[in-house]
């Protein structure tokens, strides 16, 4: 093994953190990842604990009201399928963000339960900006680590 490849591996490990993912919902964030494998996963692990899914939701609703299934689909699109949110993850998060005053929910048809649309509040905009600033360096570290891996393994 070359010094360069060892260095790239260390950089990748440093960028993603260590330890098992802490996701009480049990949702998987990467394709092909076995539940309970305990491997370091930057998106489910450190970043998800750090508020990545909240950031993605707040970002999406900042451009206009959205409903739960729409947000689930949009998170998958934004992340290229690397982060997958399911209803057991998304709806509790939406209720939590609404309870904290970061989102405001309203029923599409108030006379009956239908889709609930969520709009961002002023507090949600503040939280979105805080999470963006907090997670930006971590996302940069992961991008750098992936670039190093690509360079080493694929020569790109």
CB atoms closer than 10 angstroms to residue 95: 15
Q: What is the value of pTM for the model shown? A: 0.71
The count of domains in the chain is: 1
CB 61 within 8 A of CB 124: yes
Q: What pLDDT score does 156 carry?
A: 79
Q: Which two tokens mark 153? A: 């393994």
For residue 40, the model assigns a pLDDT of 57
DSSP code for 83: S
Distance, in Å, from the CA atom of 62 to the CA atom of 118, rounded to the nearest integer, reads 10
What residues make up the domain containing 45? 3-154
Question: Measured over all CA atoms, what is the biggest interatomic distance in the chain, rounded to whole angstroms?
Answer: 67
**Whole-angstrom Cα distance, residue 68 to residue 1?**
47
Rounded to whole angstroms, the Cα distance separating 97 from 131 reads 13
How far apart CA 118 and CA 69 sit, in angstroms, is: 11
How big is the chain by its Cα radius of gyration, in Å? 18
The C-alpha atoms of residue 44 and residue 27 are separated, in whole angstroms, by 9
Backbone angles phi and psi of 27, in degrees to 5 = -70, 140
CATH number, domain containing residue 29: 1.10.10.10
pLDDT at residue 49 in the model: 83
In order along its 156 residues, the chain shows pLDDT tens digits of: 444 444 444 444 443 333 333 333 334 333 344 333 444 565 557 888 889 999 999 999 999 999 999 999 999 999 998 888 999 999 999 999 999 999 999 999 988 878 999 999 999 999 999 999 999 999 998 889 889 999 999 987
């Amino acid at each position: 093994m070359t010094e360069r490849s060892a260095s790239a591996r260390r950089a990748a490990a440093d960028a993603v953190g260590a330890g098992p993912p802490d996701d009480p919902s049990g949702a998987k964030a990467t394709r092909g990842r076995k539940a309970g494998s305990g491997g370091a996963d930057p998106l489910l692990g450190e970043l998800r604990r750090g508020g990545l899914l909240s950031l993605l939701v707040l970002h999406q609703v900042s451009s206009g009201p959205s409903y739960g299934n729409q947000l689930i689909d949009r998170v998958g699109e934004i992340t290229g399928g690397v982060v997958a949110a399911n209803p057991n993850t998304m709806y509790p998060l939406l209720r939590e963000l609404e309870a904290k005053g970061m989102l405001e929910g309203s029923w599409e048809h108030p006379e009956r339960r239908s889709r609930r649309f969520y709009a961002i509040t002023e507090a949600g905009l503040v939280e979105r900006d805080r999470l963006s600033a907090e997670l930006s360096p971590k996302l940069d570290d992961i991008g750098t680590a992936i670039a190093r891996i690509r360079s080493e393994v694929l020569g790109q």
